[in-house]
A = this chain, B = another copy of it.
């Protein structure tokens, strides 16, 4: 059981690092565009980065839940691979959304 969990754990850790990266981008954007907390407005460039991170954060618990449900009840290997694809998709979503709202 714990062996099966190693792959899922690795994808989970990668997901955590990705979320940390998204948060850092918001922190950098807050500095760059001078949007101090608690403000969440500001120029559209900032708002896109802010919303991209918020949207990814919103789906993060759902992603983890599906990853582990599928990993435990269906197949740990397949679930880990799909998880990796999801994380890659989220990275592209974040970069696309940061660049333009149509790029999501």
Contacts and interface: CB of A to CB of B under 8 A. Distances in A.
State the majority secondary structure of interface residues on A: helix
A101 interface: yes
Copies of chain A in the complex: 3
A85 interface: no
B37 A51 contact: yes
A79 interface: no
A97 B38 CA distance: 9
A103 to B, nearest CB: 11
Interface in A43-66: 44, 47-48, 50-52, 54, 57-58, 60-62, 64-66
A82 interface: no
A72 B5 contact: yes
Nearest to A66: B16
A81 interface: no
Given A5-B72, A12-B69, A57-B61, 7 more contacts: A9-B73, A15-B65, A16-B65, A16-B66, A36-B101, A37-B97, A38-B44
